[in-house]
């Protein structure tokens, strides 16, 4: 499609034309979000819906193939920021150990129910679907949880630990089970990539040398932008390493985020803001709009019951471990809040569906249904968790 304006022809299916359409969607999404009444929803939902609207199955205003490389960079930044959010000290505490055990129970339950779906013919390759059911995307909901004071006390620590484990372990499972090599080679490659990432963490001591540290801190706010360039270099390096070992790129991006957190520590307070600006301001919206443009809407519309089925299963496999393993540390209301929040997994579902679609390991109908189920979890589960929060205690005593 070509648009003529002032004697200048613009092909909306070219890279620049598609990028222009995506930029419009990315700008309108937060504006529409501010105008929508009711509880706040993550803008990733509107980005996906905008991609569906302008994509090949909608208004046909852009070609997703022309911006795939930028979408891949956006996918890398998404998981880099997810890895950067992981507090490794929390994972070593009781909350982290309990979260890891809870995820293992969730994985067993997911494998069982998806095996049944495989037996009746609803699932062709049950491994990607089973992994998708175990995912959690707490980073998407952090603003909502902070605003509603759900990150305080024991519930907050368990939510953060469960969110980190629900992101890290599915990514490792994707690298091992959805890669192009056999399982043993994938495990050895995973160990090698982890060793490389672990070795990179020791370079943080080298960056603390006086003159180097001064140069980095001074260049952080100058045109050199040393920290951002170093971040891009680190991300590209670990992406290249994972590709060399035939592992999925999301693992390298996630490890890059964890390494970057060890490098930065508390000494570079402005780095996180810059990463948010670069990732959420440009690359990550491209990935989500691109994912919406590539979504199989016809398959989703033809099987709405499959969307409801996956939504129900996502909640089921998280409710059981939440009620069993957190009985001694959380009350019943908090256990339900934990289950609802950890069942919300839209960004990771989009990534796994896109990876599986490219690898040919997931039916298009299931990929679309999983993303549709993810949209429902984002719209419904956090709102219910907020409603369940403990009401403020009203006292007649004077406030000092």
Number of compact structural domains in the chain? 1
* Half-sphere exposure for 45 (CA within 13 Å, toward CB): 19
Is the residue at 124 inside a domain?
A: yes
Is the pLDDT score of 4 beyond 60? Answer: no
CA dist 191 and 36 (Å) reads 47
CATH code for position 377: 1.20.1530.20
Is the residue at 398 inside a domain?
A: no
The better pLDDT of the pair 199, 216 is held by 199
Q: What's the pLDDT score for residue 154?
A: 86
Is the residue at 20 inside a domain?
A: yes
Question: Helix or strand or coil: residue 10?
Answer: strand
Distance in Å from the first CA to the final CA of the chain: 67
Q: What's the pLDDT score for residue 298?
A: 78
Asked whether 64 and 13 are in contact (CB, 8 A), the reply is: no
Is the residue at 399 inside a domain?
A: no
Rounded average pLDDT over 21-35: 91
Q: Could you read off the pLDDT of 134-145 as tens digits, one per residue?
A: 998 776 677 677
Is the residue at 396 inside a domain?
A: no
Is the residue at 195 inside a domain?
A: yes
Beta bridge partners of 10: 3
* Half-sphere exposure for 118 (CA within 13 Å, toward CB): 14
Residue 63, phi-psi category: left (phi > 0), alpha (psi -120 to 50), beta (remainder): beta
Which two three-digit tokens encode residue 364? Answer: 């298009």
Count CB-CB contacts under 10 A for residue 116: 11
- Beta-carbon contacts of 183 under 8 Å, excluding residues fewer than 6 positions away, are 176, 177
Is the residue at 228 inside a domain?
A: yes
Rounded average pLDDT over 327-337: 92
Asked whether 378 and 42 are in contact (CB, 8 A), the reply is: yes
Q: Could you read off the pLDDT of 106-123 as tens digits, one per residue?
A: 999 999 999 999 888 888
pTM of the model: 0.75
Which two three-digit tokens encode residue 191? Answer: 């160990």
- Domain of 33? 2-387
């Amino acid at each position: 499609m070509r648009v003529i304006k002032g004697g200048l022809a613009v092909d909306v299916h070219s890279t620049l034309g598609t990028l222009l359409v995506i930029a419009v969607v990315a700008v309108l999404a937060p504006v529409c979000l501010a105008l929508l009444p009711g509880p706040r929803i993550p803008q990733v939902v509107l980005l996906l819906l905008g991609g569906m609207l302008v994509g090949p199955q909608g208004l046909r205003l852009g070609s997703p193939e022309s911006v795939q490389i930028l979408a891949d960079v956006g996918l890398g930044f998404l998981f880099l920021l997810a890895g950067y959010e992981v507090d490794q000290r929390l994972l070593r505490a009781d909350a982290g150990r309990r979260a890891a055990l809870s995820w293992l129970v969730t994985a067993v339950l997911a494998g069982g129910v998806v095996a049944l779906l495989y037996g009746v013919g609803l699932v062709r390759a049950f491994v990607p679907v089973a992994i998708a059911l175990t995912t959690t995307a707490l980073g998407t909901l952090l603003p909502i949880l902070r605003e509603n004071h759900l990150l305080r006390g024991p519930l907050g620590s368990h939510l953060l630990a469960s969110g980190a484990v629900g992101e890290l372990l599915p990514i490792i499972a994707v690298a091992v089970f959805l890669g192009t090599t056999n399982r043993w080679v994938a495990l050895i490659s995973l160990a090698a990539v982890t060793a490389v990432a672990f070795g990179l963490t020791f370079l943080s001591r080298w960056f603390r040398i006086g003159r180097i540290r001064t140069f980095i801190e001074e260049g952080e706010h100058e045109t050199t932008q040393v920290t951002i360039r170093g971040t891009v270099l680190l991300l590209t390096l670990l992406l290249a390493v994972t590709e060399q070992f035939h592992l999925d790129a999301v693992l390298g991006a996630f490890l890059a985020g964890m390494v970057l957190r060890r490098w930065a520590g508390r000494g570079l307070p402005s780095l996180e803001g810059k990463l948010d600006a670069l990732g959420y301001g440009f690359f990550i919206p491209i990935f989500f709009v691109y994912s919406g443009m590539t979504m199989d809407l016809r398959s989703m519309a033809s099987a709405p019951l499959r969307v409801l089925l996956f939504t129900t299963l996502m909640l089921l496999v998280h409710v059981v471990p939440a009620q069993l393993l957190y009985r001694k540390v959380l009350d019943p209301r908090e256990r339900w809040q934990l289950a609802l929040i950890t069942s919300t997994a839209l960004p990771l579902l989009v990534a796994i569906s896109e990876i599986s679609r490219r690898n040919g390991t997931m039916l298009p109908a299931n990929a679309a249904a999983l993303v549709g189920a993810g949209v429902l979890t984002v719209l419904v589960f956090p709102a219910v968790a907020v409603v369940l929060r403990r009401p403020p205690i009203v006292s007649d005593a004077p406030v000092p």
